[in-house]
Amino acid sequence: MKRKRPPKPSPHPDLKYTGSAYGWMFLAAMLILLGVSIVRDGEFKGRSGSTPIKGEAAKTIGWCFVGYGSYLGYIILYRARKTELAQKDFHELKPFRDSINGYDTEFKITWDTYSRGGHGGGVPVFYYKTQMQLKNPALPVFSISRRDKLGLLFWYLGPGRIGDILTGSAYFDARYKVKGSNKTEVQAFLTQERVEALSNFDRDYPPILTKNGWLSLTNKKLLYTEGPYSKEEKLFTMHRGRLGLLISEMTTLAELIDSKEKSV
């Protein structure tokens, strides 16, 4: 049965306007100013060479700009902030290292370069990484990592199964590579409860921004990685993200992995 615990708020809970909020504020102001100008002049000019719209039709367009800009400003200045405050789990995402629920936990944002189409160069991208150190020194030596799309294909074709430690769970074995120094000990460690907990996390983990994440673990630590996100996504994402629920779920997994249970 899945263990429930109240999530401990992650550090740095200050709510601040992000770069995206200021960008959308600027856009809202420009829409309002453009709308006022159209209503005042009674003329809406489209692309160069096109016939301008005049009179009441132009004023209607102007008032639409004013209305949309005002609504956008309301969303940014009041509604979005109120929603985030009500949820109490959105935070300014800054790197931190802290002991949370007894586990040494680190959150960081790492930058990388992502190439598209092999044409050289690359696009700056970033990843969210949350790491939690395990505490049980008696765990068998193992590593569990998520298969990528190519690895998943090789698994279904057959070659991807060579050398892996299997658990008997079709879902888990297809999505995770399990390695270890002692196959018997690792198989005994991967009880049905642990395998189900890892599978449930894989299916329904609470993402920081969107469901682009994956979990890897060893006998020393849990590591959750989410991304890649482009620089533009960091700038134009309205909400900052949430860590409390994710850390709570990772804590539940860490406690189960650290437990002394070795067999079903």
Q: What is the mean pLDDT of residues 114-128?
A: 68
What is the reported pTM? 0.65
Q: What's the CA gap between 164 and 186, in Å, rounded?
A: 11
Q: How far apart are CA 44 and CA 65, in angstroms?
A: 11
Mean pLDDT of 198-224: 89
Determine the average pLDDT of the residues in 11-29.
64
Cβ neighbours of 79 (radius 10 Å): 11
Q: Which two tokens stand for residue 34?
A: 């453009």
Helices (H) and strands (E) in the chain, counts: 9, 9
Q: Which of 59-63, 136-140, 151-155, 199-203 is predicted least confidently?
A: 151-155
**Contact residues for 169 (Cβ-Cβ < 8 A; gap 6+):** 192, 195, 196, 199
> Nearest-5° angle of CA 108, CA 210, CA 5?
75
Spatial separation of the C-alpha atoms in residues 196 and 174, rounded to whole Å: 14
How many whole angstroms separate alpha carbon 187 and alpha carbon 212? 28
Strand order in the sheet with 96-100: 96-100, 103-114, 123-133, 221-230, 213-218, 142-146, 176-180
Residue 189, pLDDT above cutoff 90? yes
Task: Give which of 84, 105, 85 is closest to 96, Cα–Cα.
Answer: 105
Binned at pLDDT 50, 70 and 90, residue 215 comes out as very high
Report pLDDT for 224.
Answer: 96
- For residue 119, the tally of other CB atoms under 10 A from its CB is 7
Q: In this predicted model, which residue has the larger pLDDT, 77 or 98?
A: 98
- Could you tell me which residue, 15 or 198, shows the higher pLDDT? 198
Per the prediction, the chain carries an average pLDDT of: 80
Q: DSSP character for 137?
A: T
Name residues whose C-beta falls within 8 Å of residue 202's C-beta, 6 or more positions apart in sequence: 146, 172, 175, 176, 214, 215
